[in-house]
Structure 1
Amino acid sequence: MFKTEVCEILQIDYPILLAGMAGGPTTPELVAAVSNAGGLGTLGGAYLKPPALREAIQKIRQLTDKPFSVNLFSTDMNESSEGYLKVQEILNEFRRELGIPHSTEKPVVTDLFDEQFQVLLDEEVPIISTAFGLLPSVKMKAAKEAGMKVISMATTVEEGLMAQQQGVDIVVAQGSDAGGHRGTFDVDKYPNGANIGTFSLIPQMKHNLKIPVIAAGGVMNGQGLAASLLLGASGVQMGTRFLTSIESGAHPAYQKALLNSTEDQIVLTKSFSGRPAKGIQNKFIHDFEDSGTKPLPFPSQNSLTGDIRRAAATKENPDYMSLWAGQGIRLLKDGLSAKEIIEEILGEAVAAIKELST
């Protein structure tokens, strides 16, 4: 029933993709579990150093012989330190709360993209997905020559058309309901990211693009899958739903916060990384924004806040962790494996379509 064009392109059984959530949630175990269950597992590789990225890919291959994807950030990784001392002044208040050393250091930014991309080529990763922009033309050519399928996230029809023109195989239409970073290409043009609702974006993408469109943002169950398909999507990408799975690498305190939060607590913020992202409101976001201090651009702000986020994780303190989450958060469940989640979604989708047809 759910065999779509995306299934044929990616050689998967069901049009359900795991979002490439960087920073640890997408463990090799979770990636492999989603792929083994018939979906497409995606490793969030953007923050991994090349040796760690290679190790993770090899571990995935030990756990599955199914297709999987690796997601990278394709954007300028330029250092920006203007106003960093003012930012550090605010962050030092948080460091004091956490009992870690103060800092007046400038942000340190390392662009690993070229090396990461080479790892994907070396390891013959079958599918690459990008966030924040498209692959540079030289790398797009290399990916195609290597036989890779290319998936790119887009937040507007214009971005989707740019992806199609470049030769991308599948576009993930990221609606404003989605958790984590907005995938908007040009955050100078859209300082808070383009924020078009998922179910407004999907039919417009479908109407204007010739390549398959994947729905992302707020899709948490089978009803969401069915609705996405009815609106013209060829599948769904889900991140938040898998954060509380058995195989998830999300910190236990993060998972607890997810399970105890509601949709009205999800906010859009630049406080952690300098790039607009959606997550659960906490003390870090509230106090930083209340200070009136402007965060540095991404990735410099992300560099400055790294020690705080790591310390918060060590101390199991969600007040200072980046708790990325989408707006369908009330529909989360605890204690299910990725396989059980996918089976549940498929069952719900079948029931929803049957109910609609009666």
Structure 2
Amino acid sequence: MSVKPLTIGELTARIPVIQGGMGVGVSLSGLAGAVAAQGGIGIISTAQIGFREPDYHKNPHEANLRAVRQEIIRAKELAQGGIVGVNIMVATQNYEDYVRTAIEAGADLIISGAGLPVTLPDIAAGASSQGRSHSVKLAPIVSSLKSANVIFKYWMKKYDYLPDMVVIEGPLAGGHLGFTKEQLQDIPGMHYEEEVERILKAVKAYGAEQGKEIPVVMAGGIYTGEEAAYWISRGLQGVQMATRFVTTEECDAHPAFKQTYIDAGEEDIVLVKSPVGMPGRAIRNAFLERAEKGPIPHGRCFGCIKTCKPADTPYCITEALIRAVEGDVENGLLFCGSNACRSDKIEKVEDILGEVADALK
């Protein structure tokens, strides 16, 4: 096997690795710009991205959109011509505003999940018509053949457009997950590799019908170069890695956040029910133990997720994620992937991408 670039239309990443988007504040311009500069694809998470803005508590929406612009511009400066994209959750309140702002700021790629991004091509077309020199690439995240079929058929019927790339996110991923808790408790029983093969076959068929090359990328549970090489040997064009990049010098999270990953054992990684109604994976700490005993009082609503009901939520997920990324790791929510317990040191982005490149030679 040799290192084959990941090509998305006119975009080409020398190393077929996408650094997964991690919010709140874990993957901002520092991490995304570094990954892009080293030949991968750097991704900024837009989830409550403006939490460091001085007016965030008064005007969270305006602060978030301002930060989207600033972080994309900074990442592009660091990227030295590399590819910088954003991850925008469909479940985000005012989703359309984030898509438009990211495109106007110069994002090369939009990856979108946590719901079906059925309107993404329409929003992007409107934003791209406002003076962009090239069209942004659009990549839905899917976890099943059913969701892939829905997106492909809807986009073609409504917009005469096929995705530029597809990200398959499996059950070993971090953050909010597109599976039931029961499925996540019996991952071997899911036979998920068979589902990956079905999705890959379907994407190839859709692309062939329209004469379009659509790369497919695997995400979830990929930590080493060898694991990346395995999926690429199965016919995928690249991989998305997130957890591995948390414990890097370039990651935007607080050093205490990174150290929690290094200190975590396998028994510390647990499934949790997010206040927004989706299962997720996190590192057990004092905060989760308190949450199990009853609701944790919270302040104002920051308008993060459409499905959240502030009056009924057991805790504010925005407050919890911000506390964690700023270093208060015992009083915050530490989302992670299934492999967080494998972290044992602080690394450099360059070395991780080099490991993947070596495994593909």
Instruction: State the TM bucket, normalised to the shorter chain.
Output: 0.7 to 0.9
Are residue 42 (structure 1) and residue 43 (structure 2) matched? yes
Distance 1:311 1:261, change over 3 A: closer
Cα deviations by residue, 1:244-284 (Å, 9 ceiling, x for unpaired): 11011122222111111133432221245543211112233
> Which is worse superposed, 65-74 or 304-313?
304-313
Aligned to 1:69: 85
Distance 1:27 1:144, change over 3 A: closer
- Asked whether the 8 Å contact 1:128–1:150 carries over to 2, the reply is yes
Are residue 151 (structure 1) and residue 139 (structure 2) matched? yes
- Asked whether the 8 Å contact 1:67–1:126 carries over to 2, the reply is yes
Aligned to 2:123: 139
Aligned to 2:333: 322
What's the offset of the Cα at 1:142? 3.3
Distance 1:193 1:234, change over 3 A: farther
Match of 1:304 among 316, 332, 351: 316
Are residue 203 (structure 1) and residue 164 (structure 2) matched? no
Distance 1:39 1:157, change over 3 A: same
Are residue 221 (structure 1) and residue 209 (structure 2) matched? no
Are residue 251 (structure 1) and residue 254 (structure 2) matched? yes
* Distance in 2 of aligned mates of 1:273 and 1:39: 31
* Distance in 1 of aligned mates of 2:314 and 2:48: 11
What's the offset of the Cα at 1:152? 1.3
- Asked whether the 8 Å contact 2:27–2:252 carries over to 1, the reply is yes
Aligned to 1:331: 342
Distance 1:226 1:302, change over 3 A: farther
* Distance in 2 of aligned mates of 1:193 and 1:242: 28
Q: How many residues align?
A: 307
Aligned to 2:170: 175
* Distance in 1 of aligned mates of 2:319 and 2:144: 34
What's the offset of the Cα at 1:28? 0.8
Are residue 117 (structure 1) and residue 99 (structure 2) matched? yes
What's the offset of the Cα at 1:118? 2.1
Cα deviations by residue, 1:326-356 (Å, 9 ceiling, x for unpaired): 1123432422211121112222343xxxxxx
* Corresponding letter in the other structure for 1:72: I
Distance 1:148 1:310, change over 3 A: closer
What's the offset of the Cα at 1:150? 0.6
Aligned to 1:92: none
How large is the RMSD of aligned CA atoms in angstroms? 2.9
Distance 1:164 1:317, change over 3 A: same
Q: Indicate the SS of the match to 1:322.
A: coil
* Distance in 1 of aligned mates of 2:113 and 2:220: 14
- Asked whether the 8 Å contact 2:262–2:344 carries over to 1, the reply is yes
> Which is worse superposed, 260-269 or 194-203?
194-203
* Distance in 2 of aligned mates of 1:312 and 1:173: 27
> Which is worse superposed, 16-25 or 283-292?
283-292
Aligned to 1:51: 66
* Distance in 2 of aligned mates of 1:114 and 1:171: 20
Distance 1:317 1:63, change over 3 A: closer
